[in-house]
Amino acid sequence: MKEIFNSHSTEETEQIARDFAARLDTGKPEFVAMLGDLGVGKTAFVRGVASVLASGARVKSPTFTVVNEYHGDKLPLYHFDVYRIEDEDDLYSVGFYDYIEKGVCIVEWSENILDSVPSGAYYVKIERSPLGENERIITIEA
């Protein structure tokens, strides 16, 4: 499965994420690897997912905490930012492998840990579009 969306605003990015989240099987752990440059809207996408899976969650980037936990309706939602992760030992030290077995994990900067992304993961790539400053191309692939 590969889907490509054009987003013209943060609100549209969040709606695309809500639609994606509604299709997830939240009865089992899921993994979403987020890819994209700084400032393209990865956290906005996570906000959209969280609005479906963990309503009421106040999503903010976990840049310095590495992971934020939100109480989901069925499973917990774990929002990772692995920008500062340097190696496998760092992943172990934050309990990364324990989290991915317990809930829905969304990981920003997954390009830094591609060898550790579990099979069956979703990949969400957000890129700036040449059509305008607020335009984004969002590719979702299973």
pLDDT at 128 over 90: yes
pLDDT at 26 over 80: no
- Mean pLDDT (the chain) is 92
Q: What are phi and psi of 98, to 5 degrees?
A: -70, -40
pLDDT at 28 over 90: no
Residue 131's pLDDT band (cuts 50, 70, 90): confident
Region 2-141: CATH code: 3.40.50.300
pLDDT at 58 over 90: no
Q: How many CB atoms lie within 10 A of CB 111?
A: 15
**Alpha-carbon distances of 25 from 42, 105, 134, rounded to whole Å:** 21, 12, 31
Tell me: the pLDDT tens digits for 109-122? Answer: 999 999 999 999 99
What does the domain layout of the chain look like in residue ranges? 2-141
